[in-house]
Chain A
Amino acid sequence: MIQVTLIGPEASVFTGDAEAVTVPAYDGQVGILPNHAPFMTLLGKGTLTVKQGGAEHRFNVQGGFLQVVSNRVRVVAEQVAPA
């Protein structure tokens, strides 16, 4: 399991555990699974997907960054809205 937090400028939008996250990075989609290496990249524009059990949460994000450290994924997006 990975712990995901999605933070926008006005409020945190999502917090929870997930099996996988797909993030639109500046150079294309990036998939994060458990035990990913420490990683930081810039966000592009697109849809972020959090897979949680059978459910999927989707958000439109743009700008900001993504940080992965020891199974914690932190997405800090300048624009974020539920898709």
Chain B
Amino acid sequence: MANLSRQLRGRIRSVQNTRRITRTQELVATSKLKRAQDRVVAARPYAQALRETIADLVTPELMERFPLLRRPAPPSKGGPSRAAIILVTSNRGLCGAFNSNLIKEARRRADELSAAGLTVEFHCVGRKGAGFLKYIGKKLAADRQDIGDRPTAQHAASLVDQLMADFGAGHLASLDIVHAKFNSPISTPPTTTRVLPVETPTGGNKVRPDYILKPGPDAILENLLPLYVRNAIYRGLVETAAGEHGARRTAMKNATDNAGEILNALRTAYNKGRQAQITQEISEIVGGAAALEG
């Protein structure tokens, strides 16, 4: 009996420690989430401004003239057979199914592209995605673990500029980015976004006739398209960073709650055992005294 209650005490202590850790992780994730969320919101005006302006400038006649807008021929008709996927995951774990969902989405996309006769290459951001893809024996075209949870526009540019050049030169058939879409801290579904060829935003207002455009709509568009592509990557990076913290907060909150439940069960068992022991001791004493009197 004494042995059992000692074991229970040990388990209670260990669960208490675990709960302390998960609760701290939850608090850390909450404060990091706040800052990451601010960055997602702060990045919106730029994306919005680019989208509006490109929508205003783009016309069907211009489409064929820009390498970044051109849709390459399928590989069966002599088009490029290389397709790239940028997979954005986090560097750290303990965030539930967040990373595995992203990896699953990337593999689904890769299967689709392979079925279309393309050779898929993976560009990984974050340790988790790279680790898994290496484990299943995929070779990575890029493995970026330096970006962390504070991505910058420079990070996005360094990721995509080479790919953009390859696409422009006709060596690359397409570029997708698999990232978490940050709807809210508790809704961060894995999403695939087509980056190249650029799907031009629509619904722009016609450029007003009295508008002075220097050096002309096509030159402006040519300069803005790379910005738009880099921004698509940057958005994927910041949204995933924010999503990671949201997912971690949820996972750690669940872990803390579960630890609380286990603690309750253990304490009940411990107290029951203690009570049974006391009752038994009392009845032994009473029995002993009765025997002496008798």
Contacts and interface: CB of A to CB of B under 8 A. Distances in A.
Interface of A: 5, 7-12, 25-27, 37-42, 63-65, 67, 74, 76, 78-79
Given A26-B215, A38-B208, A38-B211, A8 B46 contact: yes
26 contacts: A7-B49, A8-B153, A9-B43, A9-B153, A9-B156, A9-B230, A9-B231, A10-B39, A10-B42, A10-B43, A10-B153, A10-B234, A12-B46, A27-B214, A27-B215, A37-B210, A38-B210, A39-B211, A40-B212, A41-B213, A42-B214, A42-B215, A42-B219, A76-B46, A78-B230, A79-B153
A63 B234 CA distance: 16
A67 B46 CA distance: 13
Contacts of B211: 38-40
Nearest to A77: B46
A11 B42 contact: yes
Contacts of A42: 214-215, 219-220, 223
B42 A65 contact: no
Interface of B: 39, 42-43, 45-46, 49-50, 53, 152-153, 156, 208, 210-215, 219-220, 223-224, 227, 230-231, 234
A41 B49 contact: no
Given A27-B214, A65-B220, A74 B49 contact: yes
Closest 10 CB pairs of A and B: A11-B42, A9-B153, A41-B214, A39-B212, A38-B211, A76-B49, A7-B46, A7-B45, A12-B45, A9-B46
B66 to A, nearest CB: 15
Given A9-B43, A26-B215, A41-B213, 16 more contacts: A9-B153, A9-B234, A11-B46, A12-B42, A27-B214, A27-B215, A38-B208, A38-B210, A40-B53, A40-B211, A40-B212, A40-B220, A42-B214, A42-B223, A65-B223, A74-B49
A77 B229 CA distance: 15
* Chain B contact surface mostly: helix
B210 to A, nearest CB: 6
A27 B49 CA distance: 22
B159 to A, nearest CB: 14
A67 B208 CA distance: 13
A8 B154 CA distance: 12
Contacts of B214: 25, 27, 39-42
A64 B223 CA distance: 8
A67 B53 contact: yes
Nearest to B212: A39
Contacts of A37: 210, 212
Given A9-B153, A42-B223, A76 B43 contact: no
Contacts of A8: 46, 153
B203 to A, nearest CB: 17
Contacts of A12: 42, 45-46
A10 B152 contact: yes
Nearest to A67: B53
A66 to B, nearest CB: 10
A45 to B, nearest CB: 13
B46 A38 contact: no
B208 to A, nearest CB: 6
Contacts of B46: 7-12, 76
B253 to A, nearest CB: 29
B224 A65 contact: yes
Contacts of B231: 9
Contacts of B230: 9, 78
